[in-house]
Structure 1
């Protein structure tokens, strides 16, 4: 086969999006330890009518063919909010992205990356970053370490050779993200226990469960803290009100009140920690299918996810408390309460924290203090694009409202 026999086509509309998703599912099925996800959820993520990410973003999906077969896929997308962020925080003017990267071989991977780069350049972008599938809050980065065990909920999982293919196309790593694994039954070091006990004696501090009966309000509180706490981080893009409402609805079925905490100082919410039972446990057993019988297992799991591993995908403390002893104390108090409940109520033995930026010294220090260990590493790559002058479509496009 020669490179000339590779065809790259745009995928659009309902049928094109379904084809794009099914190509990804076929590739995932070949990756060791990958966990099949719900097809309906994957379709929603790439549907502009159903994913509020597209309220401030635009994308083009591509599929690769050779010899009449589908042999790869990629997305190229532009987040208008990311373009408005300071360049020193990773995105900023001219920052386009690629994601949902799958390819059968290196030649196909280069053809797909070239197609994504061409679309981004036409839209006026001067850099391509990725893989980011598709919002930075969904699946950022390429798995480059930790593929020897199954991914947790909402984490990407990729073949180890993709990194070499991306790098050989002229990309360089621009950011590293880690997840940390925690042995839940093992107690915390004495110094952490003392910090937690000191906080529990402080009348100004309270750590409470979220209230699922008023979950919409709680989700707004949590994501409001998140937008403030993470605003100086690399890659930050704020959640919009539409995304807050959407995320609240999507997460509600898996929210367990005793695993999700809000910390208050003098009655004001100042920190939060979200913990999700790992739905991949049940998806692995059902093959990612709800019918004909998978829904029974899913319903039982949703009622009580006994024995499930846990993942802490998000936590944050208001920026006004950053670099203070109180910030780490609140984090330790929430981690301690959630860890106790995960073990005593659900029998969980493993937890995963992250992702965490490798240069986020505060979070890395907390992860080290509770004696968790890095178990996965994700890389985000960057490549300059030629030209950089806005294309006709970019010039005509009005600023985001």
Structure 2
């Protein structure tokens, strides 16, 4: 007997969070997220996303055993250019067509009943969090705040009538190699007159994060599916990043005294929690701190970079992505990071794809956003 039941209790939420850990136990590249972090992300009291969105979670069970999960969301801040679309996400299931069909039928019915005419996803839970289904690059573990899915998931989803709407690229940069000569020529001259690069100022941390968010909301506003980050989400972002952010890996660019752009690299915490099985207690905290502070990490991820639109097409503004990336690459190399992921980048963001390729980075993972008409 296969049943799909809504998640309604803390115990059911705990089962929902833990299910992928069991399903992916045999995958050497799967990394269990920290259970504490997942509970906060899926709880309305601790995730501001719920303030402007409707969310429902489900578990699929068979003979008393959990065999799959899915979510459905309606983000009321979603841009009008996506029409009356709803989102699905958090998909994880055994390799069974019946389970996938039951989960998606339930999520689609929920979205349809609320007037949605399209389903987009996966979004876990919003476009500003973990996005897309892994469709290429299964042979390596995911970086911090990125997903990892089994190869069969895409095939099962496509069999239900879903088609690609966007691919997202994750680039890998090898910090042990110099950037291409063309890029080095640009940055060796240093910043143009009136342009200053500086590190994140931790003494003004909250203000710095607010500035970062303002630039992000402006710079990314024309991107497909972009949804602005709210003030409450900015505060939550500042709180969640503070324990892991390193001011030496975050840079702002100023033009004539005005903050014009930024870049942030994060230590790849996944490298440090790989064998913790999602638990920080009783000894996980000690292992995590030891790896962060003593043995160090070898990989980092750049999840955020942006330049204000008013500067992006000016002679000095065009140079900012190269200057910021060079500053970040130099810092990560100096601090012992051998490789850095730059992600995610929409496939139709030609400018950013060109910049990363020119800098010598290579696509090593592809994540896919699917779409299906619910009419």
- Scaled by the length of structure 1, what TM-score is found? 0.90
Partners of 2:290 and 2:214 in 1: CA distance: 32
Which of residues 112, 129, 151 is equivalent to 1:121?
Answer: 112
Partners of 1:163 and 1:141 in 2: CA distance: 11
Which of residues 160, 165, 173 is equivalent to 2:164?
Answer: 173
Over aligned residue pairs, what C-alpha RMSD do you find?
Answer: 1.4
The residue that corresponds to 1:363 in the other structure is 352
Question: Which of 101-110 and 324-333 deviates more?
Answer: 324-333
Which of residues 11, 34, 40 is equivalent to 2:36?
Answer: 40
Partners of 2:8 and 2:309 in 1: CA distance: 41
The residue that corresponds to 1:271 in the other structure is 261
Aligned pairs for 1:1-400 within 5 A: 5-82=1-78, 85-87=79-81, 91=82, 93-104=83-94, 105-200=96-191, 202-303=192-293, 306-345=296-335, 347-386=336-375
Q: Structure 1, residues 169-208: CA drift from partner, whole Å, max 9, x if none?
A: 01110000001000112111222112113343x2300011
Contact 1:24 1:100 in 2 (8 A): no
Aligned-partner SS, 2:102? helix
Q: CA deviation at 1:51?
A: 0.4
Partners of 2:307 and 2:100 in 1: CA distance: 40
Question: Which of 323-332 and 60-69 deviates more?
Answer: 323-332
Q: CA deviation at 1:26?
A: 2.1
Which structure 1 residue ranges, 5 or more long, are not aligned? 387-401
Q: Structure 1, residues 306-350: CA drift from partner, whole Å, max 9, x if none?
A: 2320100110000112344433411111111121121122x1111
Which structure 2 residue ranges, 5 or more long, are not aligned? none
Aligned-partner SS, 2:44? coil
Q: CA deviation at 1:136?
A: 0.7
Partners of 1:142 and 1:327 in 2: CA distance: 33
Contact 2:134 2:366 in 1 (8 A): yes
